[in-house]
């Protein structure tokens, strides 16, 4: 317990295995159920699923995200 009465959670982790080398390629395989989408499409879908309407401001921000995404 801290002096102010609050609590602090502490956790300790311990490695059980360590090996040098390339990681298993399956760790980086997204699988066949995923497809690439523009950030604005992901934003629109997320808002719709949450029951929110996409405002003009959010649409504009989505367009800017798309521009940055397409420049990569």
Helix, strand, coil share (%) of the chain residues, nearest 5? 45, 0, 55
On whether residue 19 sits in a domain, the answer given is: no
With CA atoms as reference, report the closest residue to 59 among 37, 35, 72, 41.
41
In this prediction, residue 52 carries a pLDDT of: 95
Separation of alpha carbons 64 and 23, rounded Å: 35
Banded model confidence at residue 2, pLDDT cuts 50, 70, 90: confident
On whether residue 50 sits in a domain, the answer given is: yes
On whether residue 51 sits in a domain, the answer given is: yes
Cα-flanking dihedrals φ and ψ of residue 14, to 5°? -135, 125
pTM of the model: 0.56
State the average pLDDT over residues 64-69.
97
On whether residue 26 sits in a domain, the answer given is: no
What is the total count of domains within the chain? 1
**Which pLDDT tens digit goes with each residue over 7-60?**
898 899 999 998 899 999 988 888 888 889 999 999 999 999 999 999 999 999
Q: Which value, to the nearest 10 degrees, does the dihedral of the CA atoms of residues 30, 32, 37, 39 take? A: -30
Domain that holds residue 65: 37-71
């Amino acid at each position: 317990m801290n002096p102010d009465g609050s609590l602090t959670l502490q956790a300790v982790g311990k490695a059980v295995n360590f090996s040098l080398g390339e990681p298993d390629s399956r760790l980086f395989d997204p699988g066949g159920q995923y497809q690439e989408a523009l950030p604005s499409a992901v934003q629109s879908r997320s808002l719709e699923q949450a029951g929110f309407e996409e405002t003009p401001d959010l649409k504009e921000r989505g367009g800017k995200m798309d521009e940055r995404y397409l420049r990569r």
